Amino acid sequence: MRKFKLQVQMSVDGYMGGPNGEMDWLTFPWTTDIGAYISAMVEPVDCIVLGRKLAEGFIPHWASEPEGEPQEAIDKINNAQKVVISNTLTESPWEGAVIAGGDLAETVNGLKAQPGGDLIAYGGGTLVSSLINEGLVDELHLFVNPTAIGAGMPVFGTPDAYQRFRTVASQTFECGITVLHLEPKRS
């Protein structure tokens, strides 16, 4: 079965965006060591799962082949299958992306059961916390930026119960970001 990975940028106090979705607290520029980590993490990925709101900027951004991004990353993202989780869209406005609505667990488990490489999710607070809280993620890659923002969109939302994770690895990059690679402890 394919692995389902989650990559999230977060503040040290657990937020992935400010109260209005602000992202001005993120650490940039990135250094080559963080780029190498991300390249290795996404190398086996051939399907990207996105929340609708993020997809609205993410898909057109990468389709424009943004200047300054490595061509390898542009090609990887543009050639990957893209599945947009949405209960409001009925058809995709983006070439090469499909819309999946309905039951999130059914959708994700269906994708995981298909043949292919790994899957990775990028999304906003609702999608990310739902994926974690429903136990759908196999690997969490939490990129902890050395900034506290005080309030905003929490990565974990409001879990119904304790969630336990096993630390697979952690690494601090030259730019100051620390990644926590976690796996859920399943009974």
Residue 150 to residues 12, 21, 114, 146, 153, Cα–Cα distance (Å): 10, 13, 40, 13, 10
Closest CA to 112 of 137, 140, 146, 92: 137
Q: Which residue ranges make up each domain of the chain?
A: 4-184
CA distance 137 to 140: 7
Q: Is 58 helix (H, G, I), strand (E, B) or coil?
A: helix
Give the list of residues 6+ apart from residue 1 with CB closer than 8 angstroms, or none: 112, 113
CATH architecture for residues 4-184: 3-Layer(aba) Sandwich (3.40)
Q: Exposure pattern of 46-80 as b/e (b: 16+ CB <10 Å)?
A: ebbbbbbbbbeebbeebeeeeeeeeeeebebbeeb
Closest CA to 54 of 95, 89, 84: 84
pLDDT by position in tens, the chain (length 187): 899 999 999 999 999 999 999 999 999 999 999 999 999 999 999 999 999 999 999 999 999 999 988 899 999 999 999 999 999 998 999 988 999 999 999 999 999 999 999 999 998 888 999 999 999 999 999 999 999 999 999 999 887 778 899 999 999 999 999 999 999 998 7
pTM (2 decimals)? 0.94
